[in-house]
Amino acid sequence: MKILLFYILLTLIPILNTFKCGNNIIKAPTIKTIKLTDSLKEIRKLTLEFHPISIYIDTEILISQYQQGIITENYYINIYKALNKTCTYLSKLINVDFTYSIQLQPSFFGTSDDEYILRNEVPFITNNSINTDLILIPKIYQIDKVDAAAFPIAIGSYNKRPIAGGILLGKHYDFNKKNSEKYLIMLLLHEITHILAFNNNLYEIFPSGINIIKRKINNEDRFLFQGKNVLKQAKRHFNCDSIEGIELENQGGIGSFGSHWEARVMLGDYMISTDYPEITISEITLALLEDSGWYTVNYYTGGLFRFGKGLGCSFLNSSCIRDDMSLFGREFCLNENEERCSSGNIDRGFCYIVKYDNIPENYQYFKNNKKGGFLPSDYCPVSISYPHQNYYFYSRCDSNGDNYNNLPLHYGEIYGKNSICVLSSLLPKNYENLNKKEARCHKIECDYFNKSFTIDIGDFLLNCSGKYEEVKVDNYSGSIICPDYNRVCTGSVWCNDPLECIDLESYYDMSNDTSVNEVVGKKNICQWVYFSFWIFGFFILMF
- Round to whole Å and give the CA distance between 458 and 463: 13
Please state, for a pLDDT cut of 70, what percent of the chain lies above it. 75
Comparing 8-12, 76-80, 461-465, the range with the smallest average pLDDT is 8-12
Report which of 269, 222, 286 is spatially closest to residue 249, judged by C-alpha positions.
222
Q: Are 67 and 145 in contact (CB under 8 A)?
A: no
Residues 106-139 have pLDDT tens digits of: 554 444 443 444 443 344 444 445 678 998 989 8
- Round to whole Å and give the CA distance between 154 and 10: 11
State the distance between the two ends of the chain, measured CA to CA, in whole angstroms.
Answer: 81
Residue 400: pLDDT band (50, 70, 90) is low
Phi and psi at residue 216, in whole multiples of 5°? -95, 115
Bigger pLDDT: 365 vs 505: 365
Report which of 309, 29, 363 is spatially closest to residue 168, judged by C-alpha positions.
29
> Which SS3 state, helix, strand or coil, does residue 330 take?
coil
Span 513-527, average pLDDT? 37
If you write DSSP's letter for every residue of 105-153 in order, what string do you get?
PS--B-SS-TTBSB-SS--EE--S--EESEEEEEEE---TT-SEEEEEE
Q: Are 491 and 508 in contact (CB under 8 A)?
A: yes
Q: Check pLDDT > 90 for residue 191.
A: yes
Helix (H) or strand (E) holding 526: helix 516-542
Span 378-399, average pLDDT? 88
Q: Are 285 and 198 in contact (CB under 8 A)?
A: yes
Please state the domain extents for the chain: 2-205, 518-543
Residues 213-229 have pLDDT tens digits of: 999 998 889 999 999 99
Handedness of CA 256, 259, 262, 268 (dihedral sign): negative
Helix (H) or strand (E) holding 263: helix 263-266
Residues 479-507 have pLDDT tens digits of: 999 999 988 998 778 888 999 999 886 43
Q: The domain 2-205: what is its CATH number?
A: 3.10.170
Helix (H) or strand (E) holding 385: strand 383-385
Bigger pLDDT: 31 vs 420: 420
Report which of 283, 497, 537 is spatially closest to residue 397, judged by C-alpha positions.
497
Task: Return mean pLDDT, the chain.
Answer: 80
Q: What pLDDT is stored for residue 16 in this prediction? A: 32
